[in-house]
Structure 1
């Protein structure tokens, strides 16, 4: 009887974990679509920004219109941040706050506000990376899915962390970076189910992004030369120094 009970518990736990991983794959699909759309529009908006400024450079008499346009963008962005304060900043601290229970949000308004705000910022010529926004977009869409389909608060946190990692994976074609980000930066401790869920979401998200943008790396560094074994001690020293400075 005892063996039978243990077997039933093991099967139930396995089924529960597989259920979370499958949900994480759906999170990765949605996060990949949203983050890829954001990435695509950022590229198009950046191109439009250069076209607009090139036009005004050749028509200096119209410069006052440019300043009026920028003022309108600034006012609109200010109003958005005032009404939806969680869309300000990179978005990563907000995701941590939500998982820690310090922050509550309307995931849909954060998703729409962050998406639109990023496009407006790039259109105005501001410097804006896609790492933080993509992470927050992925976490927001994951929270929306988790609100409907998660069975426990623990499962909801796993899905949100997986969504954050999936957003990063889609932003840079980097599934391993997305999964490690969810573990190291969001959860801060290793758990097999969190690791598998984050990997599943990141891989699906990365597949979506690569289907749209191709398989070429976002940052191309070329082929680096191999380090001779006699210089490996420099890597150890570098690791120690980076650890000290990072701390």
Structure 2
């Protein structure tokens, strides 16, 4: 996972960036920070620690109009740099049994945030949702010959515009940096209602992540996350 808010919802009380957390049974967890480079380092750390699978858990932006905040996507394939990486069918089926309303299909990974509805619309025919970390983990898993899975919860809808304060006023783990955040908000005070809505949408996503936490901890497969 990339964000401090995601880590909190998944029960990581103390954020130790890029450190390996014992997540119960045989599972391991690393909070990577945002972006492909951070995710690659996290994946390599997990593999070095003995991971036998890589699972990308966190949030995503919706590309389809029927996806709402809090909806869970369990993709059957991950699209990254013009490649299609299939996820592990056994793991997909296991979590789909626990979350029968989760959406399947494809997850798109990009190196940059899609902040504008028009940008999202360009990719709507390719995938259900978009993130920044799952693709590089899928590529790494393919290189190392281990299974991969993504469990991604929607925060922003297909028509949501992400304010500059969200994109540039936070650190690599999504934590607001007060001075930077305030500077962007002062530039565009009209973004305040959207920021409040995003906060509410994150709460819905966190509620689903807490459900995922229980499912992961109940999962009998020895998978590193």
Same fold (TM over 0.5): no
The structure whose Rg is larger is 1
Q: Could you say which structure has the higher strand fraction?
A: 2
Q: Could you say which structure has the higher helix fraction?
A: 1
